[in-house]
């Protein structure tokens, strides 16, 4: 059933009011733990230095039910205009936290009875501080800021009609109940604009907020030169500005693309696209272009899932099906689109940003300077097609089968196909056949291990290293499979025999021919925009058995599945 695209106005108002309360609380914490300390820190750079006398100095212990925290407690006296003042402010942001050693080093620098220098507000001499930098405690100031961003995103989400209160099918009496794609004006008209401008504006906004906050915090933390004192933890704050630089570069690139190509429009030949049929039409460009080579088209079927809480949520998308085509342009401002959609695919189940199945068409072309790229959310449903559409679908199927039959496995492929000595055909998937992904996975594991080591060194609660260690164990197994895992598949008219080996341990499985319904490719793991394909046996009892994993080339995966099918039927 199609998800209800919007909540009622009253429901959205209630959601906005609730999130606004959280936003106000987040703003208060952001002021106390980030904005006010930053403001005072910058102002204190102009405060005069005044000699002071340390009255008391200790590391105060704060026992807790689960762990113990510590704080710096230093009291000192100073003279201004022949008047004595006292203060216990060490920094503008000083909180209780775990890790006694670092705080003991601070106390050792200001022992009881020693002389030191403090900085005094000339307008209000009762305001003084020993060290003007925020220190590593500035990390805590970023926490309410993150929740502020989540709250703002939640409000925008609610204003746009998000949420799933009262989710269900189409309301009774809706004139478009049998044709749900008519509820979206762009789908109904068959003219769908790309998301280039929305993506550009969204990244600029996020990059601006991120850099406005992260740069001052990083400057305040590093200004105390903690790295030279043997405390390397604060250096991690540099990751935030680095991410900000990456966001700015991303935003600049999107802006260049927008200025050069503007908005593209996908004109559908028939509305909607059909499961078991075709999605066809033309991408119209606002400005002509001459790409360097063919235009790459990709049609994705995605499962969108939102994990929400009281302050918003996060959205993830998983590829269910994907197909790519490389086409020539019909004209300098027109890109032809024609995809066959297999009957086992899922239809669209969401109209807006709610959870469900959606279809996305992507187009990319290499251009001098900045490449062309555009994406369109398209309607794909199960519906009765015309004879013309069925004929077009049959033509696309025949073309795809002819391409698979004419495919020649490249010499660079590490997957071997050969006649078996015992009869039939052997397919061998060697270890390390995707060295790039194995390398990056190994590097990521090393970085992840460094994070766990840092947690243990800084005395983080045991729960965090344990949880991170569990995920690392999963990644280590994945890396072990990528580096040492092999699969040998023997196919003959009697059936399929599979031998899988990882780290020297082998598992064998035999599937008799009478249990096999078909051999097909399916989407496997994804890494960013890269999709790897698996070859699976569809058993007559509904069970699926994987006989080949992580094939990067879609055409090679289709060819391997076709060769296994031929070997199975060969007499």
Helix axes 196-222, 36-44, angle to 10 degrees: 50
Distance CA 55, CA 51 (A): 13
Q: Which of 474, 498, 471, 468 is nearest to 486 (CA)?
A: 498
Per-residue confidence (pLDDT) for residue 243, from 0 to 100: 84
> What digits encode the pLDDT tens for the residues 461-513?
677 778 888 888 888 888 888 888 899 999 999 999 999 998 888 999 999 99
- Architecture of the domain delimited by 413-431+485-571: Roll (2.30)
Per-residue confidence (pLDDT) for residue 76, from 0 to 100: 96
> What digits encode the pLDDT tens for the residues 72-90?
899 999 999 889 999 998 8
Per-residue confidence (pLDDT) for residue 210, from 0 to 100: 79
> What digits encode the pLDDT tens for the residues 515-530?
999 999 998 887 766 7
pLDDT at 20 over 70: yes
The string of DSSP codes covering 467-498 is HHHHHHHHHHHHHHHHHH-EEEEEEETTEEEE
Please answer whether residues 129 and 121 qualify as being in contact, where contact means their C-beta atoms are separated by less than 8 angstroms: no
Tell me the residue ranges of DSSP E strands in 328-472: 334-340, 356-365, 372-378, 380-381, 416-419, 425-429
Matching CATH topology for 182-405 and 413-431+485-571?
no
Q: Which of 305, 306, 299, 317 is nearest to 359 (CA)?
A: 299
Region 408-429 average pLDDT: 90
Please answer whether residues 244 and 210 qualify as being in contact, where contact means their C-beta atoms are separated by less than 8 angstroms: yes
Instruction: Provide the token pair at 24.
Output: 């106000």
Residue ranges per structural domain of the chain: 46-131, 182-405, 413-431+485-571, 432-482
> What digits encode the pLDDT tens for the residues 268-279?
999 999 999 999
The string of DSSP codes covering 80-119 is ETTEEEEE--S-SS---BS-HHHHHHHHHHS-TT-EEEEE
For 182-405, CATH number out of 2.60.40.640, 3.40.47.10, 1.10.287.130, 2.60.120.10 equals: 2.60.40.640
Please answer whether residues 144 and 99 qualify as being in contact, where contact means their C-beta atoms are separated by less than 8 angstroms: no
> What digits encode the pLDDT tens for the residues 151-168?
677 666 666 555 443 333
Instruction: Provide the token pair at 441.
Output: 């996975």
Distance CA 405, CA 399 (A): 10
Q: Which of 199-213, 302-316, 536-550 has the lowest mean pLDDT?
A: 302-316
pLDDT at 217 over 90: no
CB hemisphere CA count around 373 (13 angstroms): 12
Q: Which of 133, 130, 138 is nearest to 57 (CA)?
A: 130
Please answer whether residues 310 and 344 qualify as being in contact, where contact means their C-beta atoms are separated by less than 8 angstroms: no
Per-residue confidence (pLDDT) for residue 511, from 0 to 100: 93
> What digits encode the pLDDT tens for the residues 322-340?
999 999 998 999 999 999 9
Please answer whether residues 514 and 398 qualify as being in contact, where contact means their C-beta atoms are separated by less than 8 angstroms: no
What is the residue-averaged pLDDT of the chain? 82
Instruction: Provide the token pair at 309.
Output: 């809480």
Distance CA 210, CA 206 (A): 6
Region 286-292 average pLDDT: 90
Per-residue confidence (pLDDT) for residue 268, from 0 to 100: 95
Per-residue confidence (pLDDT) for residue 560, from 0 to 100: 94
pTM (predicted TM-score): 0.64
User: What percent of the chain clears pLDDT 90, i.e. is strictly above it?
Assistant: 40
């Amino acid at each position: 059933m199609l998800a209800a695209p919007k909540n009622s106005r009253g429901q959205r108002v209630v959601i906005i009011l609730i999130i606004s309360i959280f936003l106000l609380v987040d703003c208060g914490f952001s002021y106390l733990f980030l904005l006010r300390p930053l403001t005072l820190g910058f102002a204190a750079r102009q405060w005069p230095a005044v000699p002071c006398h340390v009255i008391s100095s200790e590391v105060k212990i704060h026992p807790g039910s689960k762990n113990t925290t510590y704080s710096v407690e230093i009291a000192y006296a100073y003279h201004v205009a022949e008047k004595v003042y006292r203060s216990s402010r060490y920094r503008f942001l000083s909180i209780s936290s775990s890790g006694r050693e670092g705080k003991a080093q601070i106390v050792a620098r200001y022992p009881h009875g020693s002389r030191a220098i403090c900085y005094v507000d000339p307008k209000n001499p009762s305001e003084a501080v020993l060290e003007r930098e925020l220190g590593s405690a500035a990390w805590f100031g970023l926490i309410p800021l993150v929740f502020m961003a989540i709250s703002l995103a939640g409000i925008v989400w609610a204003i746009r009609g998000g949420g799933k209160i009262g989710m269900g099918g189409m309301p009774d009496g809706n004139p478009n109940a049998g044709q749900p794609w008519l509820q979206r004006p762009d789908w109904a008209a068959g003219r769908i604009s790309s998301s280039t401008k929305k993506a550009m504006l969204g990244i600029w906004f996020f990059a601006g907020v991120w850099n406005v906050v992260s740069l001052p915090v990083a400057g305040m933390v590093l200004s105390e030169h903690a790295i030279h004192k043997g405390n390397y933890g604060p250096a991690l704050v540099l990751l935030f500005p680095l991410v900000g630089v990456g966001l700015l570069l991303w935003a600049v690139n999107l802006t260049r693309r927008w200025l050069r190509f503007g908005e593209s429009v996908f004109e559908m030949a028939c509305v909607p696209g059909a499961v078991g049929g075709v999605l066809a039409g033309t991408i119209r460009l606002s400005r002509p272009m001459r790409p360097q080579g063919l235009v790459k088209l990709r049609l994705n079927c995605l499962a969108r899932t939102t994990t929400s809480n009281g302050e918003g949520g996060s959205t993830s998308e998983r590829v269910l099906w994907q197909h790519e085509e490389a086409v020539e342009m019909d004209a300098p401002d027109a890109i032809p689109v024609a995809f066959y959609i297999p009957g086992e695919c899922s239809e669209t189940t969401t109209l807006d940003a709610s959870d469900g199945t959606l279809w996305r068409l992507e187009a990319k072309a290499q251009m001098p300077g900045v490449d062309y790229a555009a994406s369109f959310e398209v309607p794909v449903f199960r519906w009765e097609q015309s004879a013309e559409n069925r004929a077009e679908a049959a033509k696309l199927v025949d073309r795809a089968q002819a391409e698979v039959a004419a495919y020649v496995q490249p010499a660079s492929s590490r997957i071997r196909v050969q006649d078996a000595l015992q009869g039939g055909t052997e397919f061998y998937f060697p270890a390390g056949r995707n060295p790039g992904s194995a390398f990056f996975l190994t590097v990521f594991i090393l970085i992840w291990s460094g994070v766990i080591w840092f947690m243990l060194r800084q005395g983080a609660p045991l729960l965090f290293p344990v949880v991170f260690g569990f995920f690392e164990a999963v990644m280590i197994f994945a890396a072990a499979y990528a580096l040492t895992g092999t699969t040998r598949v023997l196919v003959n008219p009697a059936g399929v025999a599979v031998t899988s080996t990882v780290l020297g341990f082998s598992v064998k499985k035999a599937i008799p021919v009478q249990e096999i319904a078909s051999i097909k490719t399916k989407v496997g793991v994804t890494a960013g925009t890269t999709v790897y394909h698996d070859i699976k046996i569809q058993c007559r009892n509904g069970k699926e058995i994987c006989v080949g994993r992580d094939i990067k080339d879609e055409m090679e995966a289709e060819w391997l599945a076709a060769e296994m099918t031929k070997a199975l039927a060969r007499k």
